[in-house]
Structure 1
Amino acid sequence: MKRVLALLAAGTIVSGVCAYSATGQTAVSKPVPRVTLTRLDCGANKTPRDIAAFSDTHALDGQKKALVASCYLIRHGDEYMLWDTGYAASNRTDPKSAIALPRTIVEQLKQLGLDAADIEYVGVSHYHGDHTGQARDFPSASLLIGQGDWSALTAKDRAANVDPAPLAHWITGGGKYEAVRADKDVFGDGSVTILDTPGHTPGHKSLLVRLRGMGNVLLTGDLAHFASNYAGNAVPAFNTNRADTLASLDRFKRMAANLKATVVIQHEPADVAKLPVFPKAAE
């Protein structure tokens, strides 16, 4: 009798926390551990910057805007993942830097009782320096990066604006990495999914985090840089593929609507503020 009751109790627990696919449908009856999402301060422009180049139709000529670089800590049970790593830590102490960086990621993690070695995965949305700047501070982590971006970083005829330095540890074989071709279910239970959203760069990625309390959260990477560009499907002049950008925006927006997700545009101060103020986490 005790065995029957124990089995029934176990079944009740498992059925209450099923894993989900990225589309929101039940995939398997697999327990999902506690998942939290903490926003980290990873730099900001000290003064508003010229944003004309963020539209290839001259819609933003003569305009300036304050932008932030945000990155995120995802806790999945006892595992930790960083999503993007912001500007380089050197901006923290450089008085000539145009970037304000009050605290590094490592310093913020210490406030949470974590060390760099506690981070199992570093996922980067793309290879630009304001998203990879502090990756080198997590050499024991496995790097997750889009296949198109990895190919661009490691090409013999690498483009002049593709800087491999922040990810040199992995490029030279010093750390584990995965070049992600399509979507990737990071932990195998649908709670954290890297989404294929190319266009800004060849292998650009966004991120879906499914939280029990707040619900679904979609982090853009640089699919869009601020709210007006997201709303108007604007394409920056420096994107690598215009058609891919528009297709990725269409997919992302449809997913946001279907999942009733909170969209966080990572460079938009108002969107970053949708998540709790550090050190509190969304869950």
Structure 2
Amino acid sequence: MMSKFTLALTAAALVLSSQSVSAQKPGVERLYIMNCGEGVAGDIGRWSPGVNEGKSMDFVDTCYLIKHSQGWFLWDTGIPDAVAAMPNGLAPADPKAVSWKRPKTLAAQLEQIGVKPADVKAMGVSHTHPDHIGNVEMFPQATLYVQKAEYDWPGANNEPRFKPSHPVELLAGDKDVFGDGSITILSTPGHTPGHQSLMVRLPRTRVVLLSGDAAHFRDNYDNRRVPVNNVSKEQSIASMQKIADTISKEEAQFWINHDKAQRDTQKLSPEFYD
């Protein structure tokens, strides 16, 4: 029969074991929404052909910083921080596109929550348009997750889209980043050859699906409208259906990167979702 002392030691060991398991529990702990740009689209008809022709709309540009038990993961990097110092912002060559400003730098928002760029060990970008990769090289040591089709897609003047020295993991489809189902990259091509979206599983908020540019605002997603500049209409529609199927299966929220009306209802860093 166990003595009281033995019982006490056993109970203490069980508590310590439970705390150790809890400390090692895999998964996402919190998600921060970062303001990575604000702008005005000159003509949103380019994103919804035949609808809203000539209509202007406010856009936002959003990045997401995710604290995982294995380290910090950044999704998209927004407009370059250097735009914050431009009094008139970054005007597009095409007046129908988006004129961007940077009211807050990504660097300042990271500093506000005590995160250094070197703390970010892994990152992904939805695609390689400039408003999503503007600060990739702020994190030169972070492993970049990108679809091979996107990585190999020639940039302007056939230049590579990333510095060859940047550590990268090239994907050919979906990817469970940490192997625990908490952060999953979803291949959603169509907007660009290797466009991807992100599914994040949070303890309380549950599942959120981050759109990238699979849809630019809610009306386009609801009506399956494909922007004129997308590389493939068929792939775009198939990717929106994949997103819809995932949302239904996971009972997920759908967070659309550029949709200002939606982002105005959300908590921005330093507040977070857990």
Q: Give the TM-score normalised by the residue count of structure 1.
A: 0.83
CA distance in 2, matches of 1:88, 1:164: 18
**Other structure's SS at 1:244 match:** helix
Question: Does 2:188 correspond to 1:194?
Answer: no
- How far residue 78 of structure 1 moved from its aligned partner, in angstroms, is 5.2
2:30 to 27, 30, 36: 36
The change in CA–CA distance for 1:104 and 1:142 in structure 2 (over 3 A counts) is same
Structure 1: state its 5+ residue gaps: 18-29, 153-157
SS of 2:152's equivalent? helix
Alignment match, 2:68: 76
1:52 aligns with 2:45: yes
> Could you report, residue by residue, the CA deviation over 1:137-184 in whole angstroms, capped at 9, with x for unpaired residues?
1111111111111110xxxxx36488746x22xxx2x22101111111
Identity of aligned residues (%): 35
Aligned to 1:25: none
Native 8 Å contact 1:54 1:60 kept in 2: no
Question: Which residue matches 1:279?
Answer: 270
2:38 aligned partner, one-letter code = A
- 1:99 aligned partner: 100
Aligned with 1:230 (options 211, 221, 225)? 221
Which amino acid in 2 is paired with 1:79? G
Cα–Cα, structure 1 residues 247 and 261, in superposed 2: closer, same or farther, change >3 Å?
same
* Conservation of the 8 A alpha-carbon contact between 2:28 and 2:201: no
Q: Does the CA contact (< 8 Å) of 1:80 and 1:118 recur in 2?
A: yes
The amino acid that maps onto 1:128 is H
Secondary structure, in 3 states, of the residue corresponding to 2:144? Answer: strand
- What's the CA shift for 1:240? 0.6
Question: Quick one: structure 1 residues 182 and 4, their matched pair in 2 at CA, closer, same or farther if it must change by over 3 Å?
Answer: farther
Equivalent residues of 2:145, 2:170 under 8 A apart: yes
Structure 2, gaps ≥5 residues long: 1-6, 90-98
2:171 matched residue in structure 1: 180
Closer, same or farther: CA 33–242 of 1 in aligned 2, 3 Å? closer
Q: Check the 8 A contact 2:140/2:166 in 1, yes or no.
A: yes
Larger radius of gyration: 2
Offset of residue 62 of structure 1 = 1.8
Aligned residue for 1:218, secondary structure, equals strand
Aligned to 2:135: 134
Question: Number of residues paired by the alignment?
Answer: 258
- CA 131–117 in structure 1, closer or farther in 2 if over 3 Å, else same: same
Distance 1:10 1:38, change over 3 A: same
Separation in 1, partners of 2:85, 2:16: 55
Q: Deviations over 1:57-80 (max 9, x none)?
A: x22312221111001100002510
User: CA offset at residue 33 of structure 1?
Assistant: 4.2
> For residues 43 and 235 of structure 1, what CA distance do their matches in structure 2 show?
23
* Pairwise CA distance, 1:224: 0.1
AA of the residue aligned to 1:123? G
- Indicate whether 1:87 and 2:79 are aligned: yes
Q: Distance in 1 between matches of 2:176 and 2:158?
A: 27
SS at match of 1:106: helix
The equivalent of 1:27 in structure 2 is: none
**1:275–1:282: 8 Å Cα contact kept in structure 2?**
no
Q: Structure 1 residues 252 and 161, CA, compared in 2 at 3 Å: closer, same or farther?
A: farther
| Gap change, CA 1:163 and 1:66, over 3 Å in 2 | farther
Q: Scaled by the length of structure 2, what TM-score is found? A: 0.86
